[in-house]
């Protein structure tokens, strides 16, 4: 049981390039989330999805695009990467019921040069 996986784990890209971070979960959880984690800012929600084909903005959505054509996948695309998007990105999933617990992937460390 793989749970929730993210790829790549590390990525270096140049300013202006498009980059896509992948997230895959095997639990059939309805909800999926993308966060970025930066020193001094904690976990900030970028986008989330309540189900396939339903997505909504979080706290810091500018410069990011998401899609969710299948329940198990939730890719995050940086359309034109900027240095301010250098961060560690975490994907999470949740049943969206009861205690609303979220289960996190191992993260992708992205560096934009």
* Contacts with another protein, residue ranges (CB under 8 A): 31, 33, 41-43, 45, 48, 50, 58, 90, 92, 94, 96, 98-107
List, in order, residues 6 or more apart from 42 with CB less than 8 Å away: none
Residue 16 CB, shortest distance to another protein, in Å, is 28
Are residues 35 and 45 in contact, defined by beta-carbon separation less than 8 angstroms?
yes
Q: Which is nearer to another protein, 16 or 54 (CB)?
A: 54
Residue 27 CB, shortest distance to another protein, in Å, is 13
Rg, Å, the chain Cα set? 13
Q: How far is CA 19 from the centre of its chain?
A: 12
d(CA 96, CA 84): 31
Q: Which is nearer to another protein, 85 or 94 (CB)?
A: 94
Q: Which is nearer to another protein, 69 or 97 (CB)?
A: 97
Residue 104 CB, shortest distance to another protein, in Å, is 3
Neighbours of 53 (CB within 10 A): 11
Q: Which is nearer to another protein, 47 or 81 (CB)?
A: 47
Are residues 34 and 89 in contact, defined by beta-carbon separation less than 8 angstroms?
yes
Residue 44 CB, shortest distance to another protein, in Å, is 8
């Amino acid at each position: 049981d793989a749970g929730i996986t993210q790829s790549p784990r590390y990525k270096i890209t140049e300013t202006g390039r498009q980059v896509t971070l992948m997230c895959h979960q095997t639990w059939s959880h309805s909800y999926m989330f993308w966060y970025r984690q930066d020193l001094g800012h904690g976990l900030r929600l970028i986008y989330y999805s309540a189900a396939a084909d339903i997505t909504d903005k979080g706290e810091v959505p500018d410069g990011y695009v998401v899609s969710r054509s299948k329940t198990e996948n939730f890719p995050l695309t940086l359309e034109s990467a900027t240095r301010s998007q250098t961060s560690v990105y975490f994907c999470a999933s949740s049943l969206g019921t009861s205690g609303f617990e979220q289960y996190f992937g191992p993260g992708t460390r992205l560096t934009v040069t």
